[in-house]
């Protein structure tokens, strides 16, 4: 089974977490916090596929080639044919003694071709962290800290 997924290395997240005490870090990187991050990123990817047709940086996806467009009907749009990629989009939380992370991706076999592009097809990134996603994630994490869990 193939899956398009991404790994985020964000300096702002790292700085925010590095500036906290060890106790606070353990509290913050809880399963619930990771679930919230996964939820935010999955919903954002869904919105890109269903509505915005833009990558995480806000750039519009390349349109279909004229040749390919002739094979499509009015019920189809970029990355939306039968809906398999959208319906196979999910996140998984890995939370144990060694790992604290969330993986967001689609198990549709062709999702990586769209995410990365091919020699014949331009990339149409649907996974990633937008500026808005970063703000939402930081807001959610800081909100957890203010609530004390």
Q: Which pLDDT tens digit goes with each residue over 23-37?
A: 555 555 678 888 999
Domain chopping of the chain, boundaries: 4-147
Q: What's the whole-model pTM score?
A: 0.79
- Would you give the distance in Å from CA 135 to the centre of its chain? 14
Beta strands in 39-116, from DSSP E residues, in sequence order: 89-95, 100-106
pLDDT tier at 1, thresholds 50, 70, 90: very low
Token digits for 86?
């959208």
- Phi and psi angles of residue 111, each rounded to the nearest 5 degrees, phi first: -60, -35
């Amino acid at each position: 089974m193939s899956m398009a997924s991404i790994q985020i290395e964000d300096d702002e997240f790292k700085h925010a977490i590095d500036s906290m005490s060890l106790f606070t870090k353990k509290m913050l990187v809880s399963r619930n916090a990771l679930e919230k991050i996964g939820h935010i990123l999955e919903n954002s990817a869904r919105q890109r596929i269903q509505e915005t047709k833009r990558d995480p940086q806000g750039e519009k996806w390349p349109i279909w080639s004229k040749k390919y467009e002739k094979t499509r009907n009015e019920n189809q749009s970029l990355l939306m044919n039968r809906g398999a990629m959208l319906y196979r989009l999910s996140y998984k939380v890995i939370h144990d003694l060694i790992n604290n992370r969330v993986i967001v991706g689609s198990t549709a076999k062709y999702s990586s071709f769209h995410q990365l592009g091919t020699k014949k097809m331009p990339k149409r990134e649907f996974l990633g962290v937008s500026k808005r996603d970063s703000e939402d994630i930081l807001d959610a994490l800081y909100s957890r800290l203010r609530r004390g869990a």
